[in-house]
């Protein structure tokens, strides 16, 4: 393909995959427990070759049962939020669209709050409730958007705003009636991966994996949709069907991410825009690179969240704190490319 065609170039993919391997390795080697990175490396080497590990059984468990699943989950959640954000921006032709736009965040927040309020000890029910709540919020927005009569995206967007406000109000109300649980709810809302293990990874993988495949396959159709509904239809594409498919896939990935990590902002907006600025605006580039870039970004952010202070910072705080200046720097360095 000549330079005038925006396509995924092998060198770009290699760089992204290398970056992913680096943060995966760093995340495994360095953590809150001071095991010494050389000794962890020795443990990994021993695990692969079957040799003698420098770590005790308890230390090895910290690596394999806490760090590795947590790093993998950070990657999965980052990939899910970034590719979903890119999809939402494409479908709504709005650079500020994020994966929470259609009531996913508010629905998950309400469901999680209800679980915490009704039974503060049933923490294990928060993830499935949040998953159902996120999908419920999106489904409600979709149904309302259709009932509004419009087939376009403006009605759907407004329905999402209405549903989001309503569910958030309901969530705030439930929380105010039960102020003793406010801290638990608040901690969940700020987002974090501190309770994660292999179970969460296994829950999230299928949804995010399926959604990732669907979105990468449909990336070309997102480019066609960006011409507007009339032109897309004149090219033989069904705009409404494509929208339903990709929004469903993106919402599934978002719901899976929210259920295991709470609400982590900023990833869904910043990562796709950085990709656009650096690699081009075709969704055939933006979707797969957002997937990889989101994973890298969130693993790195989680690394900061769990190691920079003696205690643990909420991940959502770190993504915004680190993401905002980074985003501004990218914007400044590519002035003129953004109109």
- Under the binding rule (CB under 8 A), the answer on residue 238 touching other proteins is yes
Could you tell me the smallest distance in angstroms from the CB atom of residue 92 to other proteins? 13
**One of 147, 213, 217, 324 touching other proteins (CB under 8 A):** 217
**One of 237, 304, 317, 331 touching other proteins (CB under 8 A):** 237
Could you tell me the smallest distance in angstroms from the CB atom of residue 104 to other proteins? 25
Which residues inside 126-185 make contact with other proteins, applying CB under 8 A? 149
**One of 178, 194, 226, 307 touching other proteins (CB under 8 A):** 226
**Interface region with other proteins, contact rule CB under 8 A, candidates 47-55, 163-171, 227-235, 254-262:** 227-235
Give me the DSSP letters along 168-230: HHHHHHHHHHTGGGHHHHHHHHH---TT--HHHHHHHHHHHHHHHHHHHHTHHHHHHHTT-HH
The CA distances from residue 166 to 98, 105, 140, 161, 171, in Å, are: 18, 12, 11, 9, 9
Burial of 330 (0-12, 13-18, 19+ CB in 10 A): middle
Which residues inside 258-297 make contact with other proteins, applying CB under 8 A? 276, 280-282
d(CA 86, CA 176): 35
Site track 78-97 with other proteins (rule: CB under 8 A), x = hit: ---------------x----
# binding residues, other proteins (CB under 8 A): 28
d(CA 35, CA 279): 38
Kindly list the residues in this chain that would bind other proteins in the complex (CB under 8 A).
Answer: 1-6, 93, 149, 217, 220, 223-224, 226-228, 230-231, 233-238, 276, 280-282, 339
């Amino acid at each position: 393909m000549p330079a005038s065609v925006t396509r995924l170039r092998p060198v770009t993919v290699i760089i992204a995959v290398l970056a992913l391997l680096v943060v995966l390795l760093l995340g495994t080697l360095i953590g809150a427990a001071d095991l010494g990175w050389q000794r962890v490396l020795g443990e990994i080497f021993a695990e692969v070759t079957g040799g003698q590990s420098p770590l005790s059984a308890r230390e090895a468990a910290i690596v394999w049962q806490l760090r590795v699943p947590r790093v993998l989950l950070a990657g999965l959640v980052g990939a899910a939020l970034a590719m979903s954000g890119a999809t939402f921006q494409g479908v709504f032709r709005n650079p500020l669209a994020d994966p929470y736009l259609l009531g996913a965040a508010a629905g998950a927040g309400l469901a999680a709050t209800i679980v915490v309020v009704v039974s503060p000890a049933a923490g294990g029910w928060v993830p499935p409730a949040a998953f159902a709540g996120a999908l419920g919020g999106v489904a409600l927005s979709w149904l309302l958007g259709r009932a509004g009569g419009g087939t376009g995206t403006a009605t759907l967007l407004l329905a999402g705003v209405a549903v989001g406000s309503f569910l958030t109000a309901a969530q705030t109300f439930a929380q105010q009636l039960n102020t003793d649980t406010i801290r638990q709810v608040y901690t969940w809302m700020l987002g974090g991966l501190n309770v994660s293990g292999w179970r969460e990874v296994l829950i999230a993988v299928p949804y995010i994996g399926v959604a990732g495949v669907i979105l990468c396959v449909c990336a070309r159709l997102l480019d066609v949709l960006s011409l507007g509904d009339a032109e897309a239809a004149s090219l033989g594409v069904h705009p409404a069907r494509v929208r339903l498919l990709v929004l469903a896939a993106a919402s599934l990935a978002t719901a899976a991410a929210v259920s295991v990590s709470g609400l982590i902002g900023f990833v869904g907006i910043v990562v796709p825009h950085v990709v656009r600025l650096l690699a081009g605006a075709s969704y055939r580039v933006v979707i797969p690179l957002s997937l990889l870039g989101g994973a890298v970004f969130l693993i790195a952010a989680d690394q900061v969240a769990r190691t920079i202070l003696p205690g643990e910072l909420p991940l959502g705080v770190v993504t915004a704190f680190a993401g905002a200046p980074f985003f501004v720097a990218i914007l400044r360095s590519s002035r003129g490319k953004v109109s």
